Amino acid sequence: MDSKKPINVEVIPSAPDLQDADKLFLNFSTTEYRKSKNIPEKDQRLHRLLELQMLCNLSQELSTRSQHLDLLDHLAEQAVKITHSEFSQILTWEPDGSFICQVNSRLQPADQQNNSPYLAPIASWLHYLQVINQKKPVVLKQDAPDISEDERRAMGLDTVEELWMLPLWAGSEKIGLLILGSNPSHKKDKQICDRLGQMTPIADQATIGIQRKRIQQNLEKSFVEIILALAENIEVDARSSHRHEYHTSTIVTTIATSFGFSTAEIQALQWAGLLHDIGKMQIPEELLQKPGPLTSDEWQIMRKHPVFGAEMLSSISLLKDVVPIIKYHHEKYNGSGYPFGLKGEEIPIGARILSVADAYSVMVGGRVYCKPRSQKEAVEELVRCSGKHFDPIIVNKFIELIDSGLIY
């Protein structure tokens, strides 16, 4: 390539209106779709880029439209106020028999509440399931003789005098529970109010909110699956049998597991390993396939791929923890990396792990511009750059896993 020739980053075409989204969703990445649109083989890389951007735009639009549809926080807060309860909870029943508390609202300032979903204590599951299966409201009293102390604590019945529990069903589909915790003896007004009448419309709306949330989550899972499929052909050297993205993904999940990361953190790293080079879809093909060293101008373009990748995926909320890993995986421990020159613990731990895994996988797999190295040579290079390019703690863990035969 002529080094004086201006280099242009491939521009993503505008996505079509959402009225075509259903057609797009059905036809993503299919050979038949490309043939029907008369897309030449040489243009299929650009077409994949278009498909990816269309998908991300669709996800962003759905996310924007769904923000006002996620009613659960608002419903739980209103339930406390309307019924003069101490707390309200909205729980979902899961196919594995567990219960997830989606919202737990109390009479306290909103900034002091944490409404992140969490697994309800196991000791509460049997009572919750019994209430759902009865398909009618149940009031549990604190002094009920058939409830153990562990069960009282698990349900929060140790802090209130009674629990009002309303099962949530959508036709024949088991959804979950709306629960109110109340201290009726503490109220100045001792009259019995129509609490069931107050709870019923809230429960109906909670059922709708949960269904919409599940639909959104299922769509996002589908989006991620399609993005992974679109990203399969990012490989710089298509002739190589070494699948760099899968190898990298396996390494990062092995390291994360050995460090005791949570399931969600391991999942984020697995996806980051598979998608870390997706930004290269916006890098000109001639740069990716260039057999010799890149010029200074070419490097300026190449160094943008982590940001390109992060921007592509930023609209997919299911990938929110993946985006920073991809964005910063070319930062170096001593601050000499790109795109922002972060150093040490300024770099997210996931990105530091991916940096080691990516470098090793590239070395043993080779690239169009360099031959593969042996495992011994690759490890020696990681050790040489430990504390400079790479986090030494992660390098030490990596070597431990190599020696144990857990990384190849």
Determine the pLDDT at residue 59.
60
Query: What do you get for the CA distance between the two ends of the chain, in Å?
Result: 36
196: helix, strand or coil: helix
Determine the pLDDT at residue 53.
66
Task: Report residue 157: phi and psi, to 5°.
Answer: -80, -5
CB 294 within 8 A of CB 341: no
CB contact burial 117-154 (16+ within 10 A = b; e otherwise) = eeebeebbbebbbebbeeeebbebeeeeeebeeebbeb
Tokens of 155: 């349900």
Tokens of 397: 């863990």
Q: Is 243 exposed, middle or buried (0-12, 13-18, 19+ CB in 10 A)?
A: middle
**Measured distance CA(374)–CA(367) in Å, rounded:** 14
Determine the pLDDT at residue 297.
92
Taking residue 55's Cβ as centre, other Cβ atoms within 10 Å add up to: 25
Q: Locate tokens 């011994």: which residue?
A: 376
Which segments in the chain show pLDDT lower than 70? Answer: 1-70, 107-115, 186-195, 230-242
Look up the pTM and report it. Answer: 0.61
Handedness of CA 279, 281, 286, 289 (dihedral sign): positive
Query: Which residues fall within 8 angstroms of residue 36, CB to CB, at 6 or more apart?
Result: none
Tokens of 103: 């919202």
Angle between helices 44-66 and 305-313 (to 10 degrees): 50
CB 234 within 8 A of CB 118: no
